[in-house]
Each structure stands twice: as C-alpha cells, then as structure tokens.
Amino acid sequence: MIESGLRELAAALAARRISSVELTTLFLDRIGRLNPDINAFVTVDPEKSLKMAAAADARIAAGAAGPLTGVPIAQKDIFCAEGWTTTCGSRMLANFVSPYDATVIRKMHGEAGLVSLGKTNMDEFAMGSSNETSFFGPVKNPWDRTRVPGGSSGGSAAAVAAHLAPAATGTDTGGSIRQPAALCNLTGLKPTYGVVSRYGMIAFASSLDQAGPMARSAEDCALLLNAMAGFDPRDSTSLERPAEDYTSDLDKPLAGLRIGLPREFFAGSGCAPGVMAAVQEAIREYERLGASAVEVSLPNSHLSVPAYYVIAPAEASSNLSRFDGVRYGHRAADYGSLDEMYARTRAEGFGAEVKRRILIGTYVLSHGYYDAYYLQAQRIRRLIADDFAAAFRSCDVILGPTSPSTAFRLGEKAADPVQMYLSDIYTIAVNLAGLPGMSIPCGFADGLPVGLQLIGNYFAETRLLNVAHRYQQATGWHRQAPAGVA
Amino acid sequence: MTQWEVVIGIETHAQLATVSKIFSGASTAFGAEPNTQACAVDLALPGVLPVLNRKAVDCAIRFGLAIGAEVAAKSVFARKNYFYPDLPKGYQISQFELPVVQGGALTVQVGSGDKGYEKTVRLTRAHLEEDAGKSLHEDFHGKSGIDLNRAGTPLLEIVTEPDMRSSDEAVAYARALHALVRWIGICDGNMQEGSFRCDANVSVRPKGQAEFGTRREIKNLNSFRFLKEAIDYEVHWQINEIEEGRKIQQATVLFDPDTGETRTMRTKEDAHDYRYFPDPDLLPLVIERAWVERVRGELPELPAQKRARFAGELGLSAYDAATLTASQEIADFYESTVTVAGKANAKPCANWVMVDLAARLNKEGREIGQSPVSAGQLGGLILRIADNTVSNAIAKKVFEALWNGEGASADEIIEKQGLKQITDSGAIEKLVDEVLAANAPNVAEYRAGKEKAFNALVGQVMKAAKGKANPQQVNELLKAKLAG
C-alpha cells in the first residue's frame, strides 16, 4: 500500500478495501518510526489527521467522495492550516498556530477531502536549496542519509521519497519544488504563476512564489494539482480561467512533439557529467516516443541568478517585515525600547540565510540603489521572459537538467552561499518568466537520482504532465525507491 | 527691513466613506471596541494578501473628476516600508510613482467684501492608500496597546502645489476641500474622528525671490483653527530664526494646541528611507474609460458649477455664491427656499439663509439639517416680505415663531397673531396725527433742525401701530405732515 499512487489509493478507499483511518494510521506509524532520523516532518498531530480521516470515511460511506477523498498527504509547513502550528521552518514562527486556512489547504481539506499527515520541514522561509537553513534541523535524503534532499521543499521531498506520504505539497520560488524532486527521485510541478492561490502561503518573494504538487508520478501530480489549482478572489495575482482537468491528456501520444534544447543549458562545464549523460539519454527516449529535438537559445539565462538574487531578496525584505514581535510569533524576552525589541526579536528569530537576504533586499531597494539594482533586475526579467517566448515559437516543451548536480553532502555548500545559489541555475529563469516547470526522474549518477526538467509555455501544465507521463510509461526511473525505507 | 512671503502647500488625508476597508472585507465603522474590526488581513497574519476594494477607487475617480484632474488609466500600488507597532505589515500600501489622480485645481473664495478674492490652488496629485492602526499609551501600566480597527481604512491623500501665500488662503483651501469631499460623498469630513486631517508644508522667502525657502511640515492638523494657528506660529518662528541669522532645517514638526507652538519631531537627517517599490501582491490599477464615465454619471452638480449658477442665474455676489455652496446641505436649503420664494427674491433668500438663519442656528449650535424652520417655511415668509404683508422687523418675529413651532407656516402665524402690516393710509394717518399731537417737544426740535427728532417720531408711530405699520408709508406721511 505504501508504494501505491494516488489513483490506486483512491480506488482502494472507494472500494472500501481500506479505510482512510487505516491508511492514515499506516503512514503515521511509518512517520513515527522513520521520521526521527530523516526529520522530514516538523509537526505531526495524529489526533487531527485521524479526525480528518474519519470525516473522509463518513463522506465515502455517504457516497459524497471526490477523486482523492480520504487520501493522506504531507503539507509543506509554509501553508497556514487552522489549528496547526505553522512555522515556515523558522524560530520566528515556532510557536505560531494559524487561526485560518490557506486557500489550498481549504480546498484540499474541504472540497477534496484529503487528509493531512503533518507539516513538513523546509528551509527557513523557503530560503535555501538544501533544507539546511531550517530552524528545525536538516533533512536527510532517503537515498543517502549523508546527503541533502534539496530545498526549500526538502521535507516534502524526503517524506514522499521515504514513503512517509504518497504525495506532498511544495512551493517553488526559484526551484524549491523541482530541485528537491530531482535530488529525491520525485516528480514535481511548479505551475504557471497565478494557477494556484498564494493566499495563506507564507510569502517569500510574492512575484515568484507558486505552490505545486510533489509525488512519485506525473499522474499523481496531475491528480493533486486538480485539488490545488483554481481562481481565488483572495489572491489578486490569481488568474481567472476555466477549471481544467490536468489528467485529461496524460495518455496523449507524443508523436510530433517538438522538444527545445536550450544551447545554454547544454554548453559549458557547469553540469555534472553523470547528470548530463542521464539527460541526453532521456532525449533519446523522447525521440523514440516520436518527439523531435530542436536547438533553442535562451541568451539571457546567465543573468537569471543575479536578477533573481536582487528581486527575491527585495520582496522578501518587505514581506518579512511583519515578523516584528508585536502581534504573534517570537518576541525577545528582554528589551529596553521599541527599537531594541525589534532588533533583538529579529536577531533571535531569523537564521543567518534569512538575515542575509533581508540585508541584500533592503540594500537593493534603498534610495540611490533602487534603479541600479531593482529596476535593472526587472528589465532582465523582461528579457528572460522574451527569450522563452521566442524559444516557444519553435518548440512545444523545453528540456534540460533540473539541477547541475545530484544530491550534495550535508554541510558541503552550507558555508558558501553562492555555490548554494547556483544549485538553482536551471530552475530560476522559469520563475522569473512565470512559466510552468517540472522535474521528473531520468536515471541515476553514482547511485543518486537525476532530475530532468521540462518547461512549458504559460498554462501548459496539462501538456507538461502528458509529456512527463508518457516518458514515465516508457521508463521506470520514477518507480525506483531508496533502500531501507520499508 | 525684509518683506517676507509665505509659501504653503497642503497634504490632506481624507478617510473614504466605504463600508469596508481598502484591502480587506473588515468594517470601517468608527468607535468599535479595539481590534474587533481587524480581520486576518488587517492583522497581517503570515500568508494573507490584499484585495483592492473597488469602491475606494470609485471615490478617487469622483474626486479626480470634481477637481478637473486626470484620472490615470493605469496607476500602481507601492509599498512604503517602515517599522512601527501600529503598522502591522511593516509597510503601508500606498501609491508612489503613478498615483490614481494627477493634477487638477480648486478655486476658493478667500475673505469677504472688498478684501475678498478668488484663489486657484493647483493640485499635484491624489493617491489611494491604507491608514495605519492606533497606538494607545494609557491604561497599559507603562506598556503600549495597539488598536488595529483603523488599520486598512481607505485614505485619499490629496497634495497641493505650494500655491498658498497666507494662513487665510490655506484655511480657505482646506475648508473648500472639506466641503468638496463631503459634497461628492467620498468622506464624512468628521475632523474629531480624524476623517479629514491636514499636513501643512510651510516656508518663507524674501518677497521677489524666485526660489523657495526651506520648508517645515506641520503634521496632523485636525481643525481649521489649529491649521491657522499652527501656520501663523510657524511663519512667525521661521522669520524670526532667519532674521536672527539662523538657517531653517528641513523638518517635520508637531503643533501643540495648548501652547500654540510647533516643535520639531524629526529632521531630514533622521528621515526614513521608505524603500518604495511596486507591491507584487497587487496588479496595476487599470481604470477603463467606461469606469470613469459611469462615475461621472453618478456625480451631483459640483460646488463650482453651482457657485457659477448662483452668481449668473440668480445674480448673487461671488461671496454670497461661495458661502451658499459651502456645503451641499446649505446649497440645497437655499435652493429650496428660492423655489418657494421665487428667483426674483434670490437675494433676500440669500440674506435670510446666510444671516438670520445662520445666526439662529449658530446660537443653538445646530447644523442647517437640524433647522426647525424648513426651507419651504422660510421661502413662504420671504414671499410675505416681498408682497408687503409684513415688514422686515415683523418678519423676524414671524421667523422666531416658526422656529418655536408656533405655526405651520408664515401665513398661519401672521394670521393667528395679527401681524399683518397696516398699509391703509387712513389708519396710518390717524396714528401719525395722534403721535404729533402727543409729542409737541419732538416736533419743535425737528423743526429747529434736529434730524434725530424725526426718528423718535417714527418710533412712536411704529410703537402705536405695534410695529405693524408699513415703515415707508409712516416715513412719507410724517415728512409730509411736518413739512405742512
């Protein structure tokens, strides 16, 4: 049962072969057993989970079940969930119990009837690519517990990879769904900006943040995205479009598909040879499936990391101002004045990486620097979006590596922020342009998973999922599981 | 001795009369228990997002149209970043580079009579923003409390060019603006509750100098009197500083109504760097032409249009027209009075509303909306003055009777109380004869050249007539008799 996909679990629940309470208990037991070592979850609340499961069972019994009712999943601890401690991986919010549900949580708990197993570990305020910036300690990669699971959605990735949950939610500001999916042999999708509501998802960089599913197959991602996506009047950047069934085209043949290979992703020595070899093999697999490869160019892609590290910290520096110790969250115990209260609260509440980004963001927005940094970065952002628009005139999907390397060792890049930032060199441009992107397993290098990135045009989620699904039908990489998690 | 010129620009925060807040669904009603009207968005809980209240935009468009400004087809909300306990997000959502209302002007009447003149104040911009909460420093045993009921209340910040040259002009502008925002229904204008508050930027320069002096900004003036007192004090202070050889430092100052003085709150050196940038949670505000036209269709006749009509069509002086358009209520009252009394009596109607009625209301501290004498009753009374049924003096009695509810109309009171003017010349002649007979000394004095004695005789006749004799007829008859 623990290796089943969401559709099989839902079918078993619908056929009453298992109850949601039983299924939830099964996963909670595994979490109890394996989580102390992996540290994928920061909060589990069996009582709450089982209550939701019982409600789902009642709904199934009443014949009012949706496609995923009663299926348990893990939630990244960036989503506010009523009555749940919601920490965002930070000491600042270690004591924060949300009084309200994020829109995606409301949709999943309410409309879909999904059960939450708990809240997963993450880089503090989603700032990191290794899950090492979490106040609640690093997460171990189930494939090699001396290595990182990637980040920022590292807890969600490790939870699904270790079969502590069949699927999880993640968020992706510069690669935070796709890079950990790649490092943990998962399928992860970052939708087009505006497809999933950001209401109740604790903001890192508002113009880049987007939530999405992380699972063990494209089909599972499609099913979970169905439960997450949709226009939300509470999010002004949410897009009002007709509802879509993301599973509708999964099986569509790929004959005639044009796959764009950005010259810039394949040239140079930035990518580990083992990763590149697996990606090249995936291209040959696609050609066998009837697709053709065309070379495209993203000439400004080398500017994406610098532009990102201006825009994202700028927005973050402002978004994180609300954590001031006045109304909720951490407040320093001793202070003599208001300014001291702010300074101590934030000095104690935030970790080093968050402080670094607040400082960068504050700097680039400051009087006299704004034009040179922030405005310039916005211009680059426009150029990058234009590059993609031009590329999509000659291809349907863009393909390349998700991450330049496989999972690195815990502590390996922790002291070198720039090396860490370069982990997202292939993923960041997608957020800057607001496009949908996926990572799917495409093989192994030295026993560690390699992720293949697929980038679609705006609102091409259904197409991307189809392209991923057909590949997964033809290959078995996504079905590989790490040893020692049974 | 240097002649100084005063330069004033005014920034006004007008709280918009929307039912809910600018970026959340919480109520904007004043006076609720602290923090009972602050929802998750107002509290800036982690993860919440703002959604623009389009009613607030309606208000901004109304204002833009009322001052002949450009309503921007596209404007942008920006974050103004600073830390303060009553600012929950650590930033205020405002507009910076692209405000919703750009330009425009307001023409105001300054002073009355010979010294009265019209002044046009140009507006720079008006932009939408959210209000902050309030810090409460009492009752918390040395700590401060925060009330976020006001946080997120929509404001229109209205900024003028530095066009005003005296505190009188500043007050005239502020009053006219206050009347206008109430007139077009976008702000209740309640200054005690902080719905309408002004900041005045004040500088002085030697007359004839082109460049401006260094300005100081007086914050949060919530009455017209304080506005005038604060500016007068500030001007006096600045001139004194300069004349004693000191330089004015750019600063933000507060006015203390108790001492009548301004004191420095912060100087330019410790001014904030607000790190404005476009709010990524909100899309640019796009206002289609159709939206502007819809709002235009809902606008009432504006004070300026009404003022022009009162002056042109009804022949009122500029001062009268301005006074009678000081508020929608006054203008409506006046127009209803004229409807009953007729356009031929527009001028007496103006005098009655501006002088007699205003004085009576003032005496009891009432607003015109609370007048016991209706416009219809007043119009009916003015008709009786015009047709000589009553004299002005008797009319004042009738007015007082109407005020006290002694009758439903002027006619009823005149009838019931027998106040009809005596115009029968036979009856008046009889009274005149009696008075002349009984007041021989006065007659003698008059004949000896004492003009004053004549007035005494008129008084005696009016007294005998219980005030009801037509004064003009009394005058004429007396003159004729005395001459004879």
Interface predicted TM-score of the whole assembly (ipTM), two decimals: 0.96
Q: Report which DSSP code applies to B199.
A: E
Contacts with B49 from chain A: Cβ below 8 Å: 198-199, 234-236
pLDDT of residue B239: 96
Distance from the A88 Cα atom to the nearest Cα atom in chain B, whole angstroms: 9
Superfamily per CATH, domain A6-236+245-255: Amidase signature (AS) domain (3.90.1300.10)
Contacts with B40 from chain A: Cβ below 8 Å: 99-100
Asked if A244 reaches chain B (Cβ–Cβ under 8 Å), the answer is: no
Q: Report which DSSP code applies to B104.
A: -
B49 and A199 in contact by Cβ < 8 A?
yes
A292-296 and A258-262 strand pairing: parallel
Asked if B48 reaches chain A (Cβ–Cβ under 8 Å), the answer is: yes
Cα gap B50→B41, rounded to integer Å: 7
B48 and A200 in contact by Cβ < 8 A?
yes
Contacts with B282 from chain A: Cβ below 8 Å: 236
Size of interface A-B (CB pairs under 8 A): 95
Contacts with A203 from chain B: Cβ below 8 Å: 47, 281
Residue of B nearest to A201 (CA): B47
Asked if B142 reaches chain A (Cβ–Cβ under 8 Å), the answer is: no
A321 and B277 in contact by Cβ < 8 A?
no
Residue A205 · residue A316 · CB < 8 Å: yes
Task: Name the active-site residue from A4, A19, A20, A76.
Answer: A76
pLDDT tens string for chain A (486 positions)?
889 999 999 999 999 999 999 999 999 999 999 999 999 999 999 999 999 999 999 999 999 999 999 999 999 999 999 999 999 999 999 999 999 999 999 999 999 999 999 999 999 999 999 999 999 999 999 999 999 999 999 999 999 999 999 999 999 999 999 999 999 999 999 999 999 999 999 999 999 999 999 999 999 999 999 999 999 999 999 999 999 999 999 999 999 999 999 999 998 778 999 999 999 999 999 999 999 999 999 999 999 999 999 999 999 999 999 999 999 999 999 999 999 999 999 999 999 999 999 999 999 999 999 999 999 999 999 999 999 999 999 999 999 999 999 999 999 998 888 888 888 999 999 999 999 999 999 999 999 999 999 999 999 999 999 999 999 999 999 999 999 776
Amino acid at B24: S
Cα gap B410→B417, rounded to integer Å: 10
| Burial tier of A251 (Cβ tally within 10 Å: 0-12, 13-18, 19+) | exposed
pLDDT of residue B144: 85
For B158, list phi and psi in degrees, rounded to 5. -110, 120
B49 and A236 in contact by Cβ < 8 A?
yes
Sheet containing A210-215: order of strands:
A41-43, A115-120, A72-76, A167-172, A210-215, A187-190, A437-445, A448-456, A397-401, A258-262, A292-296
B81 and A99 in contact by Cβ < 8 A?
no
Interface test with A, best of B49, B54, B93 (most A CBs within 10 A): B49
**Tokens 């083992």 sit at which residue?**
A274
B277 and A366 in contact by Cβ < 8 A?
no
Task: Name the active-site residue from A20, A130, A156, A176.
Answer: A176
Count CB neighbours of A185 within 10 A: 30
B90 and A324 in contact by Cβ < 8 A?
yes
A233 and B51 in contact by Cβ < 8 A?
yes
Count CB neighbours of B222 within 10 A: 17
Cα gap B455→B451, rounded to integer Å: 7
Phi-psi region of B230 (alpha: psi -120 to 50; beta: other; left: phi over 0): alpha
Pick from B48, B79, B85: CB nearest A338? B85
Contacts with B24 from chain A: Cβ below 8 Å: none
Distance from the A210 Cα atom to the nearest Cα atom in chain B, whole angstroms: 13
Contacts with A324 from chain B: Cβ below 8 Å: 83, 85, 90
B282 and A324 in contact by Cβ < 8 A?
no
Pick from B79, B91, B275: CB nearest A362? B275
Contacts with A379 from chain B: Cβ below 8 Å: none
Distance from the B37 Cα atom to the nearest Cα atom in chain A, whole angstroms: 15
A88 and B46 in contact by Cβ < 8 A?
yes
Asked if B271 reaches chain A (Cβ–Cβ under 8 Å), the answer is: no
Burial B27-62 (b: 16+ CB within 10 A, else e): bbebeeeebebbbbbbbbbbbbbbbbbeebbbbbbb
Cα gap A417→B155, rounded to integer Å: 43
pLDDT of residue A393: 98
* DSSP bridge pairs for A215: A167, A187
pLDDT of residue A415: 86
The answer to whether residue A176 is catalytic is yes
Distance from the A393 Cα atom to the nearest Cα atom in chain B, whole angstroms: 27
The angle at the Cα of A338, spanning A336 to A343, to the nearest 5 degrees, equals: 90
Cα gap A320→A204, rounded to integer Å: 8
Q: What is the pTM of this model?
A: 0.91
Pick from B40, B51, B79: CB nearest A236? B51
Residue B295 · residue B333 · CB < 8 Å: no
pLDDT of residue B127: 98
Interface test with B, best of A104, A207, A318, A350 (most B CBs within 10 A): A318
pLDDT of residue A486: 64
Contacts with A240 from chain B: Cβ below 8 Å: none
Residue ranges in chain B whose pLDDT is less than 50? none
Pick from B47, B49, B280: CB nearest A207? B280
B251-256 and B261-267 strand pairing: antiparallel
pLDDT of residue B1: 66
Asked if A97 reaches chain B (Cβ–Cβ under 8 Å), the answer is: no
Q: Is residue B285 within a helix (H) or strand (E), and if so which, with residue range?
A: strand B285-286
Cα gap B156→A330, rounded to integer Å: 35
For B101, list phi and psi in degrees, rounded to 5. -120, 125
pLDDT of residue B436: 86
Residue of B nearest to A207 (CA): B280
Alpha helices in B250-327 (DSSP H): 289-298, 303-312, 318-323
Cα gap B73→B53, rounded to integer Å: 17
Peptide bond into A152 cis (omega under 30): yes
Model confidence pLDDT, tens digit, residues B333-362: 999 999 999 999 999 999 999 999 999 999
Cα dihedral A381, A387, A391, A392, rounded to 10, equals: 40
What are the boundaries of each domain within chain A?
A: 6-236+245-255
Cα dihedral B446, B448, B449, B454, rounded to 10, equals: 0
Interface test with A, best of B23, B24, B45 (most A CBs within 10 A): B45
B145-147 and B134-136 strand pairing: antiparallel
B117-130 and B154-160 strand pairing: antiparallel
Asked if B137 reaches chain A (Cβ–Cβ under 8 Å), the answer is: no
Phi-psi region of B116 (alpha: psi -120 to 50; beta: other; left: phi over 0): beta
Distance from the A331 Cα atom to the nearest Cα atom in chain B, whole angstroms: 13
* DSSP bridge pairs for A276: none
What is the CB-side half-sphere exposure of residue B461 using CA atoms within 13 A? 29
pLDDT of residue B321: 92
